[in-house]
């Protein structure tokens, strides 16, 4: 049987212990630390693309239902779910906010005094700003591999598959148009397939 050549592109992702170290890295005694912890929690629990993350507004998030709608790549609309833990941090972060802006992720002034004349889009944290936050705590957590918001997206997908989620569901949660795109993650399920094989065929 001729098998297709495996892609040389290897998906990088964090294991659960590395994810926990990253999430625990921010100092949550400050508003900026609370924001950063919440960003990391939401990135990991939703698998959002960083561009989708940066566009989020407070009024679009249903904290009670732990869900929100988003228009992703290719103008595809999907529902995104937030884990209970990420939702708790989201509540804490929003409670600490005293600014008038609707953007979910905002630049926190060092002085602690918000400038209401700044305008919502100037206050909004940029894609690059979110990337810098992830890299900052990667270093703090002592994680050797390069970590980006996209690595957290990979980690979200691989964790779901390792816990038994089916490929079609993961496809929907990631907002992939074709399941073929999601199949790049199936390498992580190979060890589990072997265990199942060994269980039934001694």
Residues involved in catalysis = 49, 73, 150, 153, 176, 185
CA angle 136, 70, 83 (to 5 degrees): 60
The tokens for 127 are 């894609």
Q: What residues contact 62, with CB distance under 8 A and at least 6 apart? A: 68
Cα–Cα dist 70/64, whole Å: 17
Residue where the block lists tokens 């990391």: 40
Cα–Cα dist 127/28, whole Å: 22
Identify whether the C-beta of residue 43 lies closer than 8 Å to the C-beta of residue 152: yes
Identify whether the C-beta of residue 115 lies closer than 8 Å to the C-beta of residue 109: yes
């Amino acid at each position: 049987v001729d098998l297709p050549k495996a892609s040389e592109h290897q998906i990088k992702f964090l294991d659960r212990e590395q994810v926990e170290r990253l999430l625990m890295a921010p100092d949550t005694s400050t508003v900026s630390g609370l924001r950063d912890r919440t960003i990391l929690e939401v990135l990991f629990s939703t698998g959002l693309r960083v561009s989708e993350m940066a566009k989020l507004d407070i009024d679009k998030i249903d904290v009670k239902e732990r869900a929100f709608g988003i228009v992703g790549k290719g103008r595809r609309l999907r529902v995104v779910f937030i884990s209970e833990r990420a939702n708790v941090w989201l509540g804490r972060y929003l409670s600490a906010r005293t600014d008038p802006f609707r953007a979910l992720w905002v630049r926190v002034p060092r002085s602690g005094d918000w400038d209401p004349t700044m305008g919502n889009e100037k206050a909004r944290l940029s894609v690059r700003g979110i990337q810098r936050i992830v890299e900052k705590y990667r270093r703090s957590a002592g994680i050797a591999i390069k970590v980006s918001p996209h690595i957290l997206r990979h980690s979200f997908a691989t964790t779901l598959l390792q816990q038994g989620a089916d490929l079609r569901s993961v496809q929907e949660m990631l907002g992939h148009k074709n399941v073929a795109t999601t199949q790049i993650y199936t390498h992580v399920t190979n060890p589990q397939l072997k265990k199942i094989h060994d269980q039934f065929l001694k």
